[in-house]
Structure 1
Amino acid sequence: MSKSIAIIAGVGPGTGAAIARQFASNYPVVLLSRKPENYEPLVKELKDAGKDAFGVSTDVSDSSSVKSCIEAVKKQYGNDVKAAAAIYNASGGFVRKPFLELTEADLEGSWAGTVKGAFNFTQAVLPLLTPASASATPPKESHGPPTLIFTGATASVKGSANFSIFAAPKFAVRAMSQSLAREYGPKGVHVAHAIIDGVIDIPRTKEWALPEGGKIRPEGIAEAYWWLHGQDRTGVDLGGGLEAGNREVVRRE
């Protein structure tokens, strides 16, 4: 049987790249982004370091594009390929406007990239994640049980002023992850929704003025995701208050 892979949607120079580097320590990584320039340098970097990396141009808001991606993955790693981890780090963009200045195009773009994309990605990867039985032992090379992680944000739980069109899709993905946890947890798939509660230190936020140490390191997020993947199924929630099977990683100020 082919070795298990980790598949990551939304790979760019920040969080997605850090997650890919972290998971490449144990698995072949499949990197998805609409633009090849977002993943090609990282694929080269990982291959130069002796890792197995494969990039696929994918528009997660388009179900036919996601289907073609899975076909490419199976062509690369075999029809029996399984996923040890799948991470949805894509988003419909960061839209911050007064409500009456928003357009239908803003809504459709945010919804498509966040909710529709999460839906398409999850439907495509769940067959690769779901073990033969809930009690099945993960393969020897696996760090933990089959794991599905969604990257959330402060807006997943709090809709601030001017963030309505960013918060609504983030709330929706959080709700979807909770339902998935209850449906697939008993089938042996660990579903986690990670709330990244703060500004991430990525190229887009380099010029944002914050106190020293006020930004979240992408590598720290990647380490938390790796921990979630290996978390014992009887472990305590990091976020507190949610049932086992839907952990939340929260950064409190």
Structure 2
Amino acid sequence: MASKGLAIIAGVGPGTGGSIARRFAQSYSVVLLSRTPSSYEPLVQEINSNGGQAIGISTDVSDADSVSSAFDQIEKQFPNSALAATIFNPGGGFVKKPFLQLTEEDYARALDSQAKGAFHISKRALPLLLKAKDSSPYPPTLIFTGATASIKGSAQFAAFASAKFALRALAQSLAREFGPQGIHVSHTIIDGIIDIPRTKQWVLPHEDAKLSPDSVSVERVLEFALCTD
């Protein structure tokens, strides 16, 4: 494939991940990671048919071997492409349940998909971002997408909030460690409910209470995180 900047999006589907992928595909080759091919295949086809360059890889971010296999494929397929950005946008671990009904498996699943997943992705992405910093026009970037639960634990969201708090803590630690080394690490909070199939049945006070994945607010968050024009 042609040698140009590369962006990796871990966690794609019909919501924010898809919008992020379309945005980055305007400037970079994109690699889409998701557990199920059905989550990324339509998007890969859409981007490629519109003149972009995209591939998808089935990846379980909570599994170190799965993440390592994905990054091995990426480095093999894009040997001459500098990694411009990695975006960790996990969709797993979302549990709304009264605490006394919450199982240990629910709690572990949330932490695995969010905190452990971010750990695995960061371990493989950061060496590539460091390698790219001298040739990149912008600071190579590692973005973690957060939610309201990243800073506020709500009733019946104990597992999800715990996982999102942990993700934010990891992002802050990485920012302080790798910022001085030339890597831009950002934790971006999308403060609202994204309008996706999973939330269609949620009744909210106002018709426009849900955010469109392609909304200006989401776009602005990404532009701020990237620090680009």
TM-score by length of 2: 0.92
User: Could you tell me how far apart the structure 2 residues matched to 1:100 and 1:212 are?
Assistant: 32
Structure with the higher fraction of residues in helix conformation? 2
What residue number does 2:221 align with? Answer: 224
What residue number does 1:237 align with? Answer: none
User: Could you tell me how far apart the structure 2 residues matched to 1:123 and 1:39 are?
Assistant: 23
- Report matched runs for 1:107-186 at 5 Å: 107-131=107-131, 136=134, 138-139=136-137, 144-186=138-180
**What is the Cα-based RMSD across aligned positions, in Å?**
1.8
What residue number does 2:71 align with? Answer: 70
1:10 and 2:19 are equivalent in the alignment: no
Change (3 A) 1:150 1:208: same
- 8 Å CA contact 1:14–1:218 kept in 2: the answer is yes
User: Could you tell me how far apart the structure 1 residues matched to 2:74 and 2:68 are?
Assistant: 10
User: Could you tell me how far apart the structure 2 residues matched to 1:89 and 1:109 are?
Assistant: 16
What residue number does 2:51 align with? Answer: 50
Q: Show structure 1 runs of 5+ residues with no match.
A: 233-253
The one-letter amino acid paired with 1:191 is V
User: Could you tell me how far apart the structure 1 residues matched to 2:189 and 2:129 are?
Assistant: 22
User: Could you tell me how far apart the structure 1 residues matched to 2:91 and 2:38 are?
Assistant: 17
Q: Identity across aligned pairs (percent)?
A: 56
- 8 Å CA contact 1:15–1:222 kept in 2: the answer is no
Q: Show structure 2 runs of 5+ residues with no match.
A: none
Change (3 A) 1:132 1:195: closer
The one-letter amino acid paired with 2:225 is L
What residue number does 2:187 align with? Answer: 193
How far the C-alpha of 1:138 sits from its partner, in A, is: 2.1
The one-letter amino acid paired with 2:112 is A
User: Could you tell me how far apart the structure 1 residues matched to 2:74 and 2:194 are?
Assistant: 30
How far the C-alpha of 1:130 sits from its partner, in A, is: 1.3
SS in 2 for 1:217: coil
SS in 2 for 1:138: coil
How far the C-alpha of 1:223 sits from its partner, in A, is: 4.3
- Alpha-carbon displacement from aligned partner over 1:175-210 (angstroms, at most 9, x marks no partner): 110000000101111111111211111121223233
- Alpha-carbon displacement from aligned partner over 1:44-79 (angstroms, at most 9, x marks no partner): 01111010001000011011111100111112111x
User: Could you tell me how far apart the structure 2 residues matched to 1:72 and 1:35 are?
Assistant: 17
SS in 2 for 1:114: helix
User: Could you tell me how far apart the structure 2 residues matched to 1:185 and 1:231 are?
Assistant: 16
User: Could you tell me how far apart the structure 2 residues matched to 1:83 and 1:102 are?
Assistant: 39
Runs of at least 4 residues off by over 6 Å: none
Change (3 A) 1:132 1:145: closer
